[in-house]
Amino acid sequence: MSEKAEKFRLDKWLWQARFVKSRSLAAALVTGGHVRVNSDRASKASYGVQVGDVLTFPQGDRIRVVRILAPAKRRGPATEAQTLYDDMSPAPEPKAPKIAARDEGNARPTKRDRRQMDRLREKGPNDALE
């Protein structure tokens, strides 16, 4: 006698785990071919996933890799949603501070631009990433 693992809908789990704001956005993410389950592309929102599956999908400007730890019972608070998965994504790279680009016609920086430049000069090149 072998026990069958419980399967649940991929789009519903992504929504309940709070990776997307709505279930329709989760379905669009899956049907658009952007989600991989155990390195296989999922093409239907009703794709069956189970505990132990590894999902790979884009979120914002990074790629998320998560392992499903538990099925979702409801769309609860974020602290509850974080117990549903193990995040295996690499840490995002720190972003460099943005410096306002000046047009050729505007030779003088504004007061705000001047303060930003002064802050960057005080910190040094390696301190700007913190």
Fold for 8-87, please state it: 3.10.290
Residue 95's pLDDT is: 77
Half-sphere exposure of 35 (CA within 13 A, CB side): 28
Contact 65, 56 (CB under 8 A): yes
CA dihedral of residues 113, 114, 119, 120 (deg, nearest 10): 70
Residue 121's pLDDT is: 86
Residue 2's pLDDT is: 44
Give the whole-angstrom CA distance, residue 22 versus residue 14: 9
Nearest to 50 by CA among 85, 80, 74: 85
Helix (H, G, I), strand (E, B) or coil at 27: helix
pTM greater than the 0.95 cutoff: no
Q: Which two tokens stand for residue 104?
A: 């050729």
**Residue 44: partners with Cβ closer than 8 Å, 6 or more residues away:** 30, 31
Q: What percent of the residues of the chain are helix, what percent strand, and what percent coil, each to the nearest 5?
A: 30, 20, 50
- Could you list the mean pLDDT of each consecutive 10-residue stretch along the chain, which spans 130 residues? 75 95 95 94 94 94 93 93 93 74 68 88 64
- Hey, where are the domains in the chain? 8-87
